[in-house]
């Protein structure tokens, strides 16, 4: 299986969590996994739709990796979604994504306990990520459970190392 990891991090250079995940991926260098830094490619938000289509079409499994900002994704992700998931290609007569899987790799500063019905935010991560699952459904991508790294504001180095190893294992299963 070939895997595309599309990173949507507006400040990747300063990222501790997402950088560590991708550093581990680079260190292990599993076959068939390609990473694309969308903010590096499109700092002006002018997305090359044809290039994105071609990249995605080369992969069976698509991973959208981002930090959770204000209970959603960073702005470029939404721009990418609107530009790339076009009628005639992804839906409305298009079937370019049929047979592929989609997974999110999301980091949150808050601990998992806050993302519970009885937690501070009164919603679960499954609920908050449901728009992404619906998008996958709409364009015929098979949804895989998200990979979550939570409590990043309090994560220890050992916990982050384990999360990075788990991230790579998750991509290659």
Tell me: the pLDDT tens digits for 22-56? 999 999 999 999 999 999 999 999 999 999 999 99
pLDDT at 10: 97
Q: Across residues 145-164, what is the average pLDDT?
A: 97
pLDDT at 1: 84
Tell me the CATH number at 168.
3.40.50.360
Q: pLDDT band at 173, cuts 50/70/90?
A: confident
What total of structural domains would you count in the chain? Answer: 1
Closest listed residue to residue 80, CA positions, set 107, 134, 41: 41
Q: Are 115 and 74 in contact (CB under 8 A)?
A: no
DSSP string, 104-162: EEEE-SS-GGGSSTTSTTSS-HHHHTHHHHHHHHHTTPEE-PPEEE--TTT--HHHHHH
pLDDT at 152: 95
Phi-psi region of 29 (alpha: psi -120 to 50; beta: other; left: phi over 0): left
- Determine the structural domain holding residue 38 and report its residue range: 3-172
For tokens 């289509």, what's the residue?
53
* Predicted confidence (pLDDT) per residue in 44-98, tens digit: 999 999 999 999 999 999 999 999 999 999 999 999 999 999 999 999 999 999 9
């Amino acid at each position: 299986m070939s895997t595309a990891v599309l990173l949507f991090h507006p400040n990747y250079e300063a990222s501790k969590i997402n950088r560590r995940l991708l550093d581990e991926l680079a260190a292990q260098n599993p076959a068939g996994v390609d990473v694309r830094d969308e903010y590096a490619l499109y700092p002006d938000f002018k997305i090359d739709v044809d290039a994105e289509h071609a990249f995605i079409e080369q992969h069976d499994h698509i991973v959208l990796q981002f930090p959770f900002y204000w209970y959603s994704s960073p702005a470029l992700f939404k721009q990418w979604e609107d530009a790339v998931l076009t009628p005639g290609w992804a839906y409305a007569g298009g079937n370019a994504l049929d047979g592929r899987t989609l997974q999110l790799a999301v980091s949150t500063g808050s601990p998992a306990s806050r993302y519970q019905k009885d937690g501070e935010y009164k919603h679960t991560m499954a609920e908050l990520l449901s728009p992404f699952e619906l998008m996958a459904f709409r364009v015929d991508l098979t949804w895989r459970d998200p990979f979550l790294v939570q409590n990043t504001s309090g994560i220890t180095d050992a916990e982050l190392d384990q999360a990075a190893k788990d991230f790579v294992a998750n991509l290659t299963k």
